[in-house]
Every structure is written in structure tokens, then in C-alpha cells.
Structure 1
Amino acid sequence: MAYETIKIEIADRRATLTFNRPKVANSMNLLMMEELADCLEFLRDNPEVQILVIKGEGNIFSAGGDIKMMVTSGDPKDFESIMNYISRMVLALYQLPMITIAQIRGAAAGLGFSLALGCDVIVAEENSKLAMNFIGIGLIPDGAGHFFMKERVGTPKAKQLIWAGDIMNPEEAYRLGLIDYHVDEGEAESFVDQLVGKFLSSPILAMLETKEILHGEKMMELTNILKREASGQVKMRKTEDHLEGIKAFIEKRAQQFKGK
């Protein structure tokens, strides 16, 4: 399958999905979201694949949504398409009949971090920076960030982390339970390869049955959260605080939020 913004490789029961916009920190524009939705839906219906590794090209996982796209996507239809693609890719990722591994190097922020949290196993290198930082531009998490954060750390802590929007190093994220392994810089690929080998030599069909049972019980909640995130994001994009957050980001200055 040929894509412009991502790469997919399949061999020996393993698929590797790579975000491929390294010149813009693997940020996700509308095309990339569409391609991710299509690719994950294709994988969902491919029974030959039992492991999926998600990573970023170059020295970064993903900086999240493309800020330039946010500035230029004033048309409500564009924003509707964005949220539709996000919902499609999250639902497909969560329902994949395979073990999913996020292999993080560099930054995993915003929507990029949401997708990483949606994986079964998260491995981050020591140089990584992890952030659910939507709050910095006056938005709420999307990509089921609310759902995945709550699943990992519980509701009270999820709220606090989302509200703070802090950049975390892997040690902090590991202590909180947001990631599963942190490894030395440059070691993520070999570590993930070992994990893949271990999973593929295990009774993986039984493991996947467990995943299907546990995830199946959460599907209604996940679907509802995606809908509420979409409607909430529409409201937030109309606020003065969001416009200030975007302007401050572009101008590389501190935000001056007013609660409006």
C-alpha cells in the first residue's frame, strides 16, 4: 500500500507503521489523518498480522496535530473531517486483533501521545518528551486522550495531568504508569524487536482473545468519549483562549489566558 505521509511494512506476522513527515516533527495534517484511518482499518481486517509496531521517522515520534492546519482550517467542514478521521483511526487502533507497541523516540505530544497511549505496550527512549499538552493552546485532548489517560492512571490523576499539560520525561511517565518501559537512547528498536520475538513465540491467540474481551467491554465508553471530545473541541476552538494559545505558539511567547 502506497501512502504519502506514513509507511507500512508487513512481514512475518508483524506490521510496522511509521509516521513519515520528519521535516515537520511528524505532525499530523488532514492527509496523514486520513491515511492513518485507512491504514489502521486495513490492518484491523488483516488476520495474518499479530503484532503492530508504531514509530516515527527520524528522531521524533509525533508532535501531534499540525498547528498550521489548525490555523488554516476555519471551514467547519474541514474540522468535521479532522474529527471524523481521528475517531476512525482511534476506533480501528483499539479494535486491532493484534498486540500494538508504541516505539517512542523524541517527542510524543498531543494527538501523537494519545495514539501512543492507545497501544497495548509503550516503550520510550530516555531522550523522549511526553506531553498531553492540548491545554497550552486552549483545547481539550482528542484522539481519545481522556479515555486512554483514565485507563492508565485513573480519573483524578488523568484530570490533573491533562490540566497541567506538563512535558514529562520517561522516568516520570513510567512512575505514573503512562508508559511500560524506558530504555537508553538508541535502544528502543532492539528492545521492541525482543518484545516482538517474545510475543510471537507465546500463545498469542490466547493473549489476543483476552484483549478482545477487555476492549470489547469498553467500546461503548470509548465511542461516547470520542463524540464528546469532538463536540467539546468545537466549543474550545471558538474561545478567545484558544486563539491566544495559537497566537502565542506561533509568536513563541508565553500565553495570556483570560478564561474566555
Structure 2
Amino acid sequence: MQSSPSEFKTLLYSVEGGVATLTLNRPARKNALDMEMREELAQAVGAIRRDRGVKVLILGGAGGAFCAGGDIATMDSGASAEAARERMAALLLTIEELITLDRPVIAKVDGPAYGAGLGLALTADLILASPRARFCLSFLRLGAIPDCATLYTLPRIVGVQRAKELAFSTREFQAREAKDMGIVFEIQAQDRIDERARQLALSMAELPAVALSLTKRGLNASLNSDLNTMLDLEAAGQGVARSTDYHRIAARRYLDKAPQQFQWPAAQDA
């Protein structure tokens, strides 16, 4: 059953088969984030977090762009430091909610993901890119610093030295280099990326919700933790996961040599 899209002005949102699709929809501005889109993004992400029927989230952009970053035309360069901080803090709450969402997030990057757009893409667990995807940590060009959690996410993916190079150079890089650095999971043809994202999402929607949530939380915490803490987390989490109906049914199917409910779709890298 497909839900009716919510009445957003800057976003397209729908849920079908446990998969939520959230599309930035300001194509004339390459989906740059203005205040209205920020507010609607916060509403949509909040709704997704509350809706346990949503098993996987797909993030994308309309009109051949993912997100060009913050909409410079709507920024008040004369704002006080306090006002600018408050404006940014509100967006960062949404970014935090995406990063800590206890369900898989897939980003489809087709076209530019610049500045805050790159940060938004990096909130995803898996990034699919088309051959025309372009990435850029462009903040220093404008006398700004990286935001949307890129100071947190990017070094954890590419390492601190490479993150510094991308920030200091403000250079654009393409999908193939992004894949080589570990930012992009797969490169898919432009006419294939939507189908592949949905294929992956529908497959992951069959994963055990409790065990998946605990796994994602643990992996997100691992780089800020120590061995003993992670071992304690594994022991406690395993106790919870193995008490679920999903585990009991899966174990029985395994012993009966029956096909498992979850099947990962084969990689189809372009």
C-alpha cells in the first residue's frame, strides 16, 4: 500500500513497502537548502523517526542535482554570530537525527553534492552515485567552515589527512574518486540509480529491526569507544537480539535448511 505524499513545498515524500523516499525538490536552485527546505526537512525526518513502519530511508534530489549546499541568496551575511549560530544549530539537529536514525539510509547522488549537500549525503549509510555525480567540500571558498557534520563524518570515512586536503583545496571530485576513497558505495548509471536504490532498500527492509538497530548504533559508536565498552555492548545487544521472534524463526529455518527471509541483492556496479 502506498501512502499519499505529504504536502511539502520543497520536498517530495512518500512511503511504500516500508521504504520512505525523501527528495529535495528545488531543481531551479539545484536543491540548495533555504530556510523553508530546512524546516520541511526537519518535519519530514521527525515523521520518519516516529513512524516505525518506515524500515529504510532513501534520500535524493530532483532535476539532476542532489544538493548544491546552502542557498547563498537566502543567507544574511550581516547577521550576528549568535543569530548565525542559532540558524545553523537548527539544521544540525536534523543532521544529527539522520545520522542517528536506527534504520538504514541510502543516498542517491545524481549531479552535484556541494558543501552542505555533501554533508547531507554523508549522513547516509550507503551512497549510490551516478557517473555525473560531483562532490565538493566548498566551504572555505566562501569564508565558511564545513558543517552538516562533515567535520565528524568525512574523516571517519577518508581519514584525517585526506579530509584536510578536500577541505583546504575545495576541489571538485567525481564519482569514481569518491568510490575509491570509500565515500561512494556503488556507481550506477543515471537511468539505473533509482531502481538500484529501491532494490537495496526493499532488501534491507527485510532485515530484523531490533538486531539492525543495535548493529547500526554499535558501528556508529565504535570509533569513539574502547574495546571493553564495545564488548559489553555486543554482549548486551546479542542477548536482546536473540530473544526476538525474528531470531527464533531464522534459526529454525536455518536448521530446516529453508531459504532465509533476507537476501542481499547482487552488486551491480557500473
Normalised to the residue count of structure 1, the TM-score between the two structures is 0.79
After TM superposition, list the pairs within 5 Å mapping 1:109-258 onto structure 2. Answer: 109-216=114-221
How far apart, in 2, do the equivalents of 1:27 and 1:82 lie? 16
2:194 is aligned with what amino acid? E
Offset from partner CA, 1:59-117 (integer Å, 9 cap, x none): 111101001122x3523365234212221111110121210000111111110110101
Offset from partner CA, 1:213-242 (integer Å, 9 cap, x none): 23356789xxxxxxxxxxxxxxxxxxxxxx
Q: Does 1:49 align with 2:54?
A: yes
How far apart, in 2, do the equivalents of 1:43 and 1:73 lie? 33
Correspondent of 2:79 among 70, 75, 88: 75
Q: Which runs of 5+ in 2 are unaligned?
A: 1-5, 226-270
Query: Secondary structure in 2 aligned to 1:179?
Result: coil
Offset from partner CA, 1:119-143 (integer Å, 9 cap, x none): 0000000011111111211211100
Query: Secondary structure in 2 aligned to 1:168?
Result: strand
Q: Which residue is 1:61 aligned to?
A: 66
How far apart, in 2, do the equivalents of 1:51 and 1:35 lie? 19
Q: Percent identity?
A: 29
Count of aligned positions: 219
> Radius of gyration: which is bigger?
2
Q: Which residue is 1:16 aligned to?
A: 21
CA contact (8 A) 2:130 2:190 kept: yes
Moved beyond 3 Å, runs of 4+ = 201-205, 216-220
After TM superposition, list the pairs within 5 Å mapping 1:26-37 onto structure 2. Answer: 26-37=31-42
How far apart, in 2, do the equivalents of 1:142 and 1:41 lie? 20
Query: Per the alignment, do residues 219 and 63 of structure 1 end up closer, same or farther by CA in structure 2, a change over 3 Å counting?
Result: farther
* Superposition deviation, residue 204 in structure 1: 4.8
CA contact (8 A) 1:44 1:95 kept: no
Q: Which residue is 2:268 aligned to?
A: none
Query: Per the alignment, do residues 146 and 107 of structure 1 end up closer, same or farther by CA in structure 2, a change over 3 Å counting?
Result: same
CA contact (8 A) 1:26 1:56 kept: yes
Q: Which runs of 5+ in 1 are unaligned?
A: 221-260
CA contact (8 A) 2:19 2:202 kept: no
Structure 1 vs Structure 2 CA RMSD: 1.9
How far apart, in 1, do the equivalents of 2:185 and 2:20 lie? 20
1:67 is aligned with what amino acid? I
Query: Per the alignment, do residues 94 and 180 of structure 1 end up closer, same or farther by CA in structure 2, a change over 3 Å counting?
Result: same
How far apart, in 2, do the equivalents of 1:201 and 1:82 lie? 38
CA contact (8 A) 2:17 2:202 kept: no
